[in-house]
Amino acid sequence: MTDAGTPAPLSFYEEIGGHDTFVRLVDAFYRGVAGDEVLKPMYPEDDLRPAAERLTLFLEQYWGGPSTYSERRGHPRLRMRHASFHVNPDARDRWLRHMRAAVDELDLPPLHEATLWDYLQRAAFAMVNTFEPTGIGPTRPPEATSLLAHPETTKES
């Protein structure tokens, strides 16, 4: 309730079902990634569960849920965190294909689905950092990956 006694508006996070919905979304997405010959080799860890948890926490925070992502990882700085990965249009389209299938599984009301999908598309287009074909990379020299090991971003490990 607000001070005026009116109920506080629900966050988008709450509106679409909270934690369970984001877990379902990201689990379905990573099932797609696990079988993707271009995306899967990009992941530094063989076990995709820690990456899935990071994406879940990020999306929950972005949509007004708990701010656990920033507590554990610091500022998102997503473009920077993707700098060492070869994100070309092919990788982006694969990422979006798996995410589209995952969004479909949620069976959200059309307006919510459109809101979520619009964001995911814009974010994926913004993450592209090279137009070199797959197999030619990394896009940045190895020392750029040390940004990922900044103490602020590795509180978990």
Residues lying near ligand HEM in the complex (CB under 6 A) are found at: 39, 42-44, 51, 54-55, 58, 73, 78, 81-82, 85, 87, 91-92, 95, 123-124, 127
List C-alpha distances in Å: 66 to 58, 94, 95, 145, 156.
9, 28, 25, 28, 17
Helix 89-106 × helix 18-34 angle, to 10°: 140
Minimal distance, residue 139 CB to ligand HEM, in Å = 11
Least separation in angstroms between CB 61 and ligand HEM: 9
Q: How far is CA 59 from the centre of its chain?
A: 6
CB-based contacts of 118, cutoff 8 Å, min separation 6:
none
CB of 107 to ligand HEM, least distance (A): 21
Closest CB to ligand HEM among residues 1, 138? 138
How far is 13 from 67, CA to CA, in rounded Å? 12
Q: To the nearest whole angstrom, how small is the minimum distance from the Cβ of residue 65 to ligand HEM?
A: 14
Nearer residue to ligand HEM within complex by CB, 78 or 136: 78
Asked if 86 and 138 touch (Cβ cutoff 8 Å), the reply is yes
Closer by beta carbon to ligand HEM, 17 or else 62: 62
- 8 vs 63 by CB, closer to ligand HEM: 63
